[in-house]
Amino acid sequence: MTKQTDLGGNFTLPGTSITVNRMGYGAMQLAGPQVWGPPRDVDGAVAVLREAVAVGVNHIDTSDFYGPHVTNQIIKQALHPYRDDLVIVTKVGARRGDDKSWIHALSRQEIIDAVHDNLRNLGLDALDVVNLRVGGIAELAEGSIEGPLTVLAELKRQGLIRHLGLSNVTPKQLAEAQTITEIVCIQNLYNVALRNDDSFIQDLAKQGIAYVPFFPLGGFTPLQSSALDAAAASLQSTPMQVALAWLLQRSPNILLIPGTSSIGHLRENLKAATLQLPSETIAALDAIGGGPKQ
């Protein structure tokens, strides 16, 4: 196993000493089907995490509501004690119903409990970055986030959290958040086919804030497009590699967290960092989502 030297370059979270490779890993796929319960192959999940870190990934995205608890426990089993340069980003703001549903959990006590669940299951004294997840996957809802974010800012002052980010939010909610505390990253739904955040990404780039798209490969509905297929064929790569390379070239503040439960897919995805897309390919890919959104 050799270290991959090019993981998309690196990015320093604003106002911090945290620098991560732009190509990271999203751990949600390590839980069982529907992100519930243990995976069929726990050893396989452990192996994926160890391989990721061994080749140089130093940014892992997770949450204690994956499983619930299972994904964090597998991360701890695979990687604890953690390497000094490993940055684990987690999120709070949701919980799982007994029917496997995803339920908002933004009350003061739910936020406090979620932070402690993450600390316990990851085996940490402090969390590197915690994202406050506000909207659902499919819908963003405008509205004040002062209540839950104030609780997280308190926990940060207590030393349980180092840095804060936001997930499933609008630019207006970021602006409100910045009156309460520093925000180092935004995690929203975005990929080559879903480009509602185009102008948000530009604004964040100007502020030096990281944009971490979730579902970079389409998530539960993997991306399918003739433009991706054609680009992959012309570049001796795969459609998923092209989709990731497009994101890396889209803006320097984009950090990737593609998810997979397979070592083969992990290796394939990490290699996307070495793929250079020519400008005519980017133009063809830009057309997938109906072109850039203002």
- Contacts with ligand NAP by CB under 6 A lie at 26-29, 61, 91, 133, 137, 167-168, 187, 214-219, 222, 240, 257-262, 265, 268-269
**82 classed as catalytic:** no
155-80-46 Cα angle (round to 5): 120
Dist. CA 243–CA 269, nearest whole Å: 10
Task: Give the residue at shortest CB distance from ligand NAP.
Answer: 259
Tell me whether residue 41 or residue 279 sits nearer to ligand NAP (CB atom).
Answer: 41
Tell me whether residue 28 or residue 275 sits nearer to ligand NAP (CB atom).
Answer: 28
Task: State the nearest-atom distance from the C-beta of 6 to ligand NAP, in Å.
Answer: 18
Tell me whether residue 218 or residue 289 sits nearer to ligand NAP (CB atom).
Answer: 218
Task: State the nearest-atom distance from the C-beta of 146 to ligand NAP, in Å.
Answer: 20
Tell me whether residue 141 or residue 283 sits nearer to ligand NAP (CB atom).
Answer: 141
Dist. CA 128–CA 125, nearest whole Å: 10
Tell me whether residue 130 or residue 153 sits nearer to ligand NAP (CB atom).
Answer: 130
Task: State the nearest-atom distance from the C-beta of 110 to ligand NAP, in Å.
Answer: 16
Task: State the nearest-atom distance from the C-beta of 29 to ligand NAP, in Å.
Answer: 4
Task: State the nearest-atom distance from the C-beta of 38 to ligand NAP, in Å.
Answer: 15
Dist. CA 130–CA 191, nearest whole Å: 22
From the list 25, 66, 190, 211, the catalytic residue is 66
Tell me whether residue 184 or residue 217 sits nearer to ligand NAP (CB atom).
Answer: 217
Task: State the nearest-atom distance from the C-beta of 117 to ligand NAP, in Å.
Answer: 16
Annotated catalytic sites, by residue?
66
